[in-house]
């Protein structure tokens, strides 16, 4: 599989969306899809779809479109959701516990195999069938459970200590819910999720519009 | 207040982070803060902090730094969190109901004043003190409750209908949890939150690294 080195974040995001469209089509029993159909359902252009997909190799047949299952399988391999990932959740405060209860990660193969916290009142409790472990044992838990990705949901004050330990234990991917920018060594990738900050960006934009009116 | 027209998304994100730092400092009783301190805690440079803040007017005093409370107040006004926002949640599936239970929006002044769904088994139920309304009554609910922002947590199939109705009723800000790109008329701002797609971007990156090794 020849993959271009320079795939942008927005391209990866679109590819995730294409996969969702393809999976709905698989359920419907559709066998082929055109770049026009993919663009219609993903808010982009057919040319952009062709460009995104061509960067992963060429599977479209001119005039026939893409094979739905073939393309879905290929995208799953590229994104890495053709297999499951072992994930640890660090921090079961309000956001962390909502994430455990939600369970939407497992549907895509992200399997939360460990939950950790520093709070003695939480350690030892059961959450969705997992026992909350002591952060003191982080390195042992990561090794025993073969953890590959971390969901980080600790208070801002605790972030830098935890990030150092994540780096030292050799984990290279963090999904960060703490409202701060993580400083990580090279080779570790961070993706931020912060719903409240997205809302703030929204209200900022609406505020600006009002000032101009 | 003179505000530059071109404030980037990443600048707004940093400003949200500065506000969180300032609020922690207010709690600690700190009175002034330097651009160096703000940059230390937000993963950027002091020069970037000064640049971000100067786009909103000049409040730093050379050698003295910024007044913590003065700067926090100013940022709150700019972002629009010096007041509360009336928000409706559309869709109480798994992600929507987790958001209602979470409650983290209200802390920042985003007040969920209405919840709507199309599912007869959900309509009329109580969630966090609110009765789930019928999507048939969307326009009436928006007007009665003075809704300004929508949190959209409906299945992809339902998105385009709902977006049309949001636009028609005059709402201009959407926080989108549906894993798709919304097509909205000009004047409507959308911010996307998709935790699973962020995880997919992470595993994509790790996959690429492995292929290179």
By the CB < 8 Å criterion, does A61 face chain B? no
Q: Are B59 and B74 in contact (CB under 8 A)?
A: yes
> Which chain A residues contact residue B184 at CB under 8 A?
none
Contacts for A44-49 with beta carbons within 8 Å, 24 or more apart? A44/A14, A44/B181, A48/A14, A49/A14, A49/A18
Answer yes or no: do B94 and A80 touch at CB < 8 A. Answer: no
- What pLDDT does residue A125 have? 95
> Which stretches of chain B drop beneath a pLDDT of 70?
1-6, 58-62
User: Span A85-197: which CATH code?
Assistant: 3.40.50.720
A89 three-class SS: strand
Taking the C-alpha atoms of residue A180 and residue B17, their distance in angstroms, rounded to an integer, is 6
B61 touches chain A (CB under 8 A): no
| Beta carbons of B153 and B99 less than 8 angstroms apart | yes
Helix (H) or strand (E) holding A190: strand A189-192
The verdict on a CB contact (< 8 Å) between B43 and A191 is no
Query: Chain B: nearest CA to A163, how far in angstroms?
Result: 13
Question: Distance (Å, rounded) from C-alpha A201 to C-alpha A207?
Answer: 10
Percentage of chain B beyond pLDDT 90 is 59
Count Cβ atoms within 10 A of the Cβ of residue A73 and give its class: 0-12 exposed, 13-18 middle, 19 or more buried.
Answer: middle
Delimiting residues of CATH 1.10.10.10 domain(s) in chain B? 9-77
Its sign, for the CA torsion B94, A138, A110, B105, is: positive
Does residue A199 surpass a pLDDT of 80? yes
Order of strands across the sheet with B126-127?
Answer: B126-127, B130-134, B110-117, B85-90, B149-152, B173-176, B189-192
Residues of chain B contacting residue A12, judged by C-beta atoms under 8 Å apart: 200-201, 204
Half-sphere exposure of A91 (CA within 13 A, CB side): 21
pTM assigned to the model: 0.83
Task: Domain B85-194: give its CATH superfamily.
Answer: NAD(P)-binding Rossmann-like Domain (3.40.50.720)
Q: Which of B100, B78, B63, B86 is nearest to B172 (CA)?
A: B86
Higher model confidence: residue A42 or residue A56? A42
CATH 1.10.10.10 domain residues, chain A: 9-78
pLDDT bin (cut points 50, 70, 90) of residue A208 is confident
Q: Which of B196, B163, B208 is nearest to B181 (CA)?
A: B163
Describe the crossing of helices B46-54 and B9-28 by its angle, rounded to 10 degrees: 100
- Chain A residues with CB-CB distance to B192 below 8 A: 198
CATH 3.40.50.720 in chain B: give the residue spans.
85-194
- Tell me where in chain A the CATH 3.40.50.720 domain(s) lie: 85-197
Alpha-carbon distance of B99 to B78, in angstroms, equals 26
Non-local CB neighbours of A27 within 8 Å, separated by 6+ positions = none
- pLDDT of residue A128 exceeding 80, the answer is yes
**What's the gap in Å between the CA of B143 and the closest CA on chain A?**
18
The answer to whether A47 faces chain B, any CB pair under 8 Å, is no
Average pLDDT score over residue span A147-157:
94
**Model confidence at A6: pLDDT above 70:** no
A contact test, residue of B111, B203, B209, B211 with most A CBs within 10 A = B203
The confidence score (pLDDT) of residue B56 equals 73
Cα separation, B70 vs B53, whole angstroms: 12
Matching CATH number, A9-78, of 3.40.50.460, 3.30.350.10, 1.10.10.10, 1.10.730.10: 1.10.10.10
Does any CB of chain A come closer than 8 Å to the CB of residue B176? no
Could you read off the pLDDT of A28-40 as tens digits, one per residue? 999 999 999 999 8
CATH 1.10.10.10 matches B9-77: yes
**Rounded distance between C-alpha atoms, residue A62 and residue B147, angstroms:** 48
Beta bridge partners of A88: A114, A150
The answer, for B106 touching chain A at a CB cutoff of 8 Å, is: no
Residues of B in contact with A201 (CB under 8 A): 9, 12-13, 16, 191
Quote the percentage of chain A above a pLDDT of 90: 59
Strand ranges inside B44-120, DSSP E? 66-67, 85-90, 110-117
**Is the confidence at residue A122, as pLDDT, over 50?**
yes
SS3 assignment for A92-159: CCHHHHHHHHHCCCHHHCEEEEEEEECCCCCCCCEECCEEEEEHHHHHHHHHHHCCCEEEECCCHHHH
């Amino acid at each position: 599989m020849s993959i271009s080195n320079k795939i942008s974040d927005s391209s990866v995001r679109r590819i995730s969306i294409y996969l969702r469209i393809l999976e709905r089509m698989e359920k419907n029993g559709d066998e082929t899809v055109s770049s026009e159909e993919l663009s219609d359902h993903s808010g982009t252009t057919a040319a952009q779809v062709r460009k995104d997909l061509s960067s992963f190799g060429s599977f479209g047949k001119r005039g026939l479109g893409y094979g739905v299952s073939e393309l879905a399988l290929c995208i799953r391999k590229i994104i890495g959701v053709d297999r499951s990932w072992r994930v640890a959740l660090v921090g079961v405060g309000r956001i962390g516990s909502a994430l455990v209860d939600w369970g939407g990660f497992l549907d895509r193969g992200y399997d939360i195999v460990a939950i950790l916290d520093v709070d003695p009142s939480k350690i030892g409790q059961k959450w969705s069938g997992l026992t909350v472990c002591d952060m003191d044992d982080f390195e042992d838990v990561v090794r025993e459970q073969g953890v590959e990705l971390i969901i980080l949901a600790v208070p801002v004050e605790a972030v830098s200590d935890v990030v150092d330990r994540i780096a030292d234990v050799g984990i290279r991917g963090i999904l960060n819910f703490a409202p701060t920018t993580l400083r990580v060594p090279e080779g570790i990738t961070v993706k931020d999720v912060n719903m409240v900050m997205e809302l703030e960006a929204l209200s900022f934009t609406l505020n600006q519009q009002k000032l101009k009116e």
